[in-house]
């Protein structure tokens, strides 16, 4: 199973303010729907409450510390392991927020779908910086602002950098140069 995070962030890594998204970009919403439809989505309780209902055509998993929390049309779980186990029949599961879940999965996710909003905005929730040491850019598609999208933005797909680990007993051919 591929664990992917999907998030929109401004140039200054702001992803929200007052438990809400700051922008409404029609193109980003369509992109989100295209990528996540038919898959399991894992979200925190606050993200679920900001949506107000389960996302259609997806397996909605809400991760919460509150053992009494219920959400109609969703599976409520209380640990990361339980969330992944619930989604395990899916070939790709999407972490859709909020900031606590992004931080929890930052070093565990295989893929990052980032919509980079080409603006600096004020906010109170931030995405960790995307480091070239941890993430390799796979694709970038730019979209200018227009009448349906207040800001220009880029869809950027990153894959986790996997370190090449060579066991000490492995014989390396002489034609291979190691740094």
Number of domains observed in the structure of the chain: 1
Among the listed residues 89, 141, 144, 134, the one whose alpha carbon sits nearest the alpha carbon of residue 112: 134
Residue 166 has a pLDDT of 41
Residue 90 has a pLDDT of 79
In a domain, 176, yes or no: no
- How large is the average pLDDT for residues 38-47? 96
pLDDT averaged over the chain? 91
Q: What's the pLDDT band for 167 if we cut at 50, 70, 90?
A: very low
| 82 alpha carbon, distance to own chain's centre | 18
Percent of the chain past pLDDT 90, that is, above it, reads 84
Name the 3-class secondary structure at 149: strand
In a domain, 28, yes or no: yes
Pair 133, 161: CB distance under 8 Å: yes
Among the listed residues 156, 97, 157, 153, the one whose alpha carbon sits nearest the alpha carbon of residue 127: 97
Answer yes or no: is pLDDT of 159 > 50: yes
The pTM of this model reads 0.87
Pair 12, 120: CB distance under 8 Å: yes
Q: What is the DSSP letter of 129?
A: P
**Residue 156: domain span:** 2-160
- How large is the average pLDDT for residues 124-135? 94
Q: What is the DSSP letter of 108?
A: T
In a domain, 177, yes or no: no
Domain at 64, CATH number = 3.40.430.10
In a domain, 124, yes or no: yes
The Cα-based distances of 148 to 43, 82, 143 in angstroms read 26, 38, 11
């Amino acid at each position: 199973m591929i664990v992917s995070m999907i998030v929109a962030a401004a140039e200054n890594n702001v992803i929200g303010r007052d438990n809400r998204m700051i922008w409404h970009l029609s193109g980003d919403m369509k992109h989100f729907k295209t990528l996540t439809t038919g898959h399991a989505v894992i979200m925190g309780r606050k993200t679920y409450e900001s949506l107000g209902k389960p996302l259609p055509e997806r397996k909605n998993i809400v991760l919460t510390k509150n053992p009494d929390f219920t959400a109609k049309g969703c599976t409520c779980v209380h640990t990361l392991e339980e969330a992944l186990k619930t989604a395990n029949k899916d070939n790709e599961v999407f972490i859709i927020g909020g900031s606590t879940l992004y931080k929890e999965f930052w070093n565990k996710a295989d893929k990052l779908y980032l919509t980079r909003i080409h603006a600096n905005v004020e906010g109170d929730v931030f995405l960790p910086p995307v480091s070239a040491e941890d993430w390799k850019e796979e694709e970038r598609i730019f979209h200018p602002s227009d009448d349906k999208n207040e800001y220009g933005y880029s869809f950027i797909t990153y894959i986790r950098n996997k370190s090449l680990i060579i066991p000490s007993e492995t014989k390396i051919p002489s034609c291979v140069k190691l740094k």
